Each structure stands twice: as C-alpha cells, then as structure tokens.
Structure 1
Amino acid sequence: MSTAASARPTAVVTGASSGIGAATARALGAAGFHVVLGARRLDRCKAIAEEIDGTALPLDVTDAESVTAFAHAVPEARVLVNNAGGAKGLAPVAEADEDEWRWMFETNVMGTLRVTKALLPKLIASGDGHIVTVTSVAALAPYDNGAGYTGAKHAQAMLHRTLRGELLGQPVRLTEILPGLVETEFSLVRFDGDAERAKSVYRGMTPLTGEDVADVITFAVTRPSHVNIDQIVLKPRDQADAMRVHRTG
C-alpha cells in the first residue's frame, strides 16, 4: 500500500468486480477512501483499482483460507462493505436444488460471517469502524419460488442485526442496505447465464442501478461518527415489494 493510500481511511468492499460492488468501490474512492477491492475476478478488480488508486486482492468468501489470506493482506480497515452474495435458481420448495441452496447460504451467510469475523478487530482498532451489509428486500418477506434466496438473506440480515447489539459500546457502526430490483449481473447468475431470461426481470420498468445503491452506501458511511443509520430500504419507483412490480407494455 502506498504512502498516499495509507493517508486515507481504508474501505474494504467484497464482491467488488462488478455491479453494486464495483460502483461502491468507485463511489468510496471518490469520497476520499482508499478502497481495497476483493473478488474472485481479480483482473476486473485490478482495472477498477487503477482508476481509483485502490488495491485489488483475490477473495473467495466461500473459502476460509482465502478470507484469512485476504484479511492478513489488509493492514487496517475503517469501513467494510459486505456486498458479495447472489441467488441461484427460482424454483418452488418442492423442486428445490440442494446444491443451489448450499451455494446461496455459503455465499451470502457464511461469506459475510467469515469476512466480518476476520476484519472486526481492525474495524474496532480504527476507532471509527463501520460495517455495511448489503442484504435485500428478500430479507423482509418471502416470495414465491424464492425460499432459498429469501432464507439466505434473512439469515444474513439476522447476523448483521445481531451484531448491532453485540457491538454496542464499541466504536463500530452498522448499516444494512436492502435493495429491491437492481440491474446488474445478479439475474444472469441466478439463471445460470441465460441472458434473455435475466433481461426479462427488468422488462417494462426502470430498475435501480449499481450506482444508485453505491450512492446510498456512501451517504451512510460519511455521516458523523455518532450517527448510525440502521437500515435503508431502496426500491425502484416501479416496485412496491418483492412480488409487485408495475410494468409498461
């Protein structure tokens, strides 16, 4: 890490190679943070890191050894954005694919747990730490054919919300971001690369962008240190909840 980088507070962003993570890395860089970008697609992280004078490190949140190595390579941290996660499939419980469920819990829940545990001592040591966890409106209510994802997001949210009490009295704030429909690679992953099916999720409406979510994250972490924004739910104007979306055409 360069001297110039070390003079800036460090923000760590997981799942930083695309979508919300990439947009958040850019937004936090513009807000004066030295951003450490972690993801499996290191080449993408390196390209963004070059743009914002950040640091790119390999990270697979489903691999405990990868998380340990990542944390050891980060000398200090004031902000952690737990963004890595995702969905697989859209099947009813009666047809659930156990491997897809296992992947969702490993990525969203265990991944958040591993990274948070690994970096928590450094966040506390910063004297002004902040943990942001990107969950979803799926952490608020169930929706048909989404039990695997809503289950994982509810569990991830409970992890984060429990920390809010457990860290009371410590110099660490906690903010949960709960986005609705955001047009990123999310649906492409969910539908195993089926671009047409992924595109149909956003057809006839205007979804959020990764930049929209990044703006909200940046707002939360740049409030005065005595201000804790517990939760921010953001959805497109066209979306009322996980199952109700207004579409034209």
Structure 2
Amino acid sequence: MDPGLIRRFSALIGQSEDFAEDFLPQFAIQSEAVYGSLSEDELLELAMDHFHSDKSRNLSPGPSSGGASMSSLDSWPDTPCAASSSAPSLGLGWILDRLEDDFHCIEPLARPYSLNHGQCGHNFCALCVLKWYFDALDGECGRWLESLRCPVCRSMLPATPADVPRDMCTLPFVPNRSADTTVRAYLNLVQDAADRNGSGGLDERVRGWERHGRKSMDWQERDRKGTEGMELVVTNWAILEEEDFLAMKARFEDSS
C-alpha cells in the first residue's frame, strides 16, 4: 500500500503511522470484498467512519443532506454490493485475530513492555512481567540468585546490580508505546462494535467487550495496576534496596 496513503490516514485519525500501517491494508481488503474497487479517497472516508466511535457504521451510500457539497462516497462504484440499500457491515474477525496473534499475553496486552535484551523483543503486560520478575526474587536475601530468561525465547537478561545508585540502563523493562497505541485503537473498535450491537449477531469473542463489560473492566484494571506498579519500579529503580525489592515482591504476589 502507498506509504503516502498510510501517512494521510494516520494524520486524519490522530494515530501513529505504525497503527495506520497495520490497520489500513487489512481494512482495504475487507471493504473491497464488500463494495468492490474503491478510490483512495473513498477508502479513507470509509476507514475513518469505521474508526471513529461517534460516526455511524452503516456503510450504505446516500446523498448528502442540506445542499452541502457531495462527499466522495456519494458516488459509489456500480456493483451489486454498492447498489444495496443495506450493505453488510465489515467484520471484526481480523481485528480480534490480530489482538490474539500479535498483541496478546494471557489476555490482550495491557500497558505492554518488552524485556531489555537486544535479541528478544517479546511483549508482555506490565503487570504480568512485574509478577514474573519479582516471583524469581529470593524471599530471604532480596536478590536474584539466578539469571532470568525471557519466558518465550529464553534470551538471558543482564543481572540486576546490587549496588546503588543503579543506572537506569539496567532496568530490565522497556515500554512498547507503539504496541500500546495499536492495542488501544483496536480495542476501541471492538468496544464500539460491542456497544452498538448489544448481543445480536456479534462474533462470540466480542461479547463482554462493551465499555462497561466484564472483559473491558478486567483489561482496564490490569492496565491500571500495571501502570502504577511499573511507575513505582521505574521511578525508584536507581535507589531500590533489598528490603524494597522484598516489599515489591509481596505487593505483586497480592495483585490479582
């Protein structure tokens, strides 16, 4: 797909180019399967309507109202799908697949972090990786007696220095802001669909993702706890002593 089109979509929706590059090509495949060949402007307007929560996701064509200038979507390709007065909506299956395949820990990533290793790059929820890290801490001496390895690729992490002040480059966690932006944008789309459609005709995986649904609330709680926990560790990393690590171990063991 044309990089210029990716940049335009990124600017129009106020999201990162990484998200736009991930979202738009897949959306183009879905929309053209429903409506046939689309111009770049038609594709962008469709994608924007589908993305923004305050816009209708009824994608059937219609004339503009009030004598306003015609939208690029007012003239549709002459295909059976476009001529329909009730064109089918675009599915969420590929979004859910992306969340499950590429942005997933135990559940969809909440405040994703990578491990600080040049050959790793795997992502984990902030809360999950903190629990994993402090679970390996010796409960008596407050130190890590063995080198830690990534749970996925087994890359060995540098040892945590015992002496303070500790350099920030020794922090074993790196925030993945690009993944965080992408996950939030995808979840917004899923939550919008769940809110608008209730329990009728939805992919089974969408149910519970309403704004106040069980899955959404669980994700928000994991996001909040992970944010607070990681902020505590990062802010104090340079000066943490053994007793501080032990207190954090107890804190994260108690986190549900």
Same fold (TM over 0.5): no
User: Could you say which structure has the larger radius of gyration?
Assistant: 2
Q: TM-score range by the shorter chain?
A: under 0.3
Structure with the higher helix share, 1 or 2: 2
TM-score by length of 2: 0.25
The structure where strand makes up a greater share of residues is: 1
